Structure 1
């Protein structure tokens, strides 16, 4: 015969559940701040974006210069698979970073001027590899929305902080 919980037990379980939820929310926020504080900042150039998208939704969809890469950058013998995690080595070239290699496992050594950005394979053809990084949505602050609307379609220079443990987040976007 099952034993019904007493009111004291219910209160304890409720407090534990609420505490676990609060701990989770604080951990998510702390991870974001830690990524910005301890991460290495890189700049990525986007394809031109249409600011009118902000009239239809609350974010811009970004396509980076490192979204579509030549398959010659793939460093593995076997072909890339859809949804496969990949590690893209980036190097500064001018005011933005460009992809120099794509690996299916995180490389153990890198040149000092390179940084790794984790992504996923969306698709591939005979010559092109399409990747996703989890940075494709940009929620523009209100004051930047006005600037974006005045400029019309244009490219952005997006500042991304990449933490040593691989997490990345957009910290800023500039109109080019």
Structure 2
């Protein structure tokens, strides 16, 4: 009988740990959406023939390729093609769209960001290349889920009109999609939970 109680207690403990892990993931995402700094990014088409895959659209942004000149120095191991963490400092232009102004491997750019700037964290698998090349960076916001059947309209209009994405950026640089806009019209908003 005591063996059965022990098994029940162990099963309950495992269930509580699993629920706690899932809850921490959800609350972490919600914290960035609720408290993160809001930035606006220009959406760029990746490939007009391959944007829609099921119920999501693959996107690229104006910050997806960062000029190599914004990095103060190459990574410590030249030619290293492993995944590297990259921090990119963004600043809004005259249209309110955030643009890269500095970048650095493995740590935030030196100096504190100005009040209108924000540091976003991404990763790259690109090899370091000399000027005038750029570094491709992924921020974890390249896939946007849309209601079933509505992706085709976005796909057909993406190259023709101005789309923007509002993104929340946490203190640690983590980014979460907040809302998707066609010009000034909000098409979709991500729920907090």
> Which structure has the highest helix share of the two?
1
Report the alpha carbon displacement of residue 51 of structure 1 after superposing the two structures with TM.
8.4
Partner of 1:140: 146
1:106 aligns with 2:108: yes
After superposition, where does 1:144-163 map in structure 2 within 5 Å? 145=151, 147-148=153-154, 151=157, 153-154=159-160, 155-163=162-170
- 1:26-175 matches, within 5 Å, as 26-48=23-45, 50=48, 53-54=51-52, 56-76=53-73, 78=75, 81-82=80-81, 83-93=83-93, 94-104=95-105, 105-107=107-109, 108-123=111-126, 124-126=128-130, 127-142=133-148, 145=151, 147-148=153-154, 151=157, 153-154=159-160, 155-175=162-182
Distance 1:166 1:128, change over 3 A: closer
Structure-1-length-normalised TM-score: 0.84
Larger radius of gyration: 1
Quote the Cα distance in structure 1 between the aligned partners of 2:29 and 2:75. Answer: 34
Q: How many aligned residue pairs are there? A: 171
In structure 2, list runs of 5 or more residues that go unmatched.
184-193
Per-residue deviation, residues 32-69 of structure 1 (Å, max 9, x unmatched): 11111110100111213548733x42211111111112
Q: 8 Å contact 1:90–1:116 — kept in the other structure?
A: yes
Q: CA deviation at 1:95?
A: 2.8
> For 2:123 and 2:69, how far apart are their aligned partners in 1?
17
RMSD of the alignment, in Å? Answer: 2.4
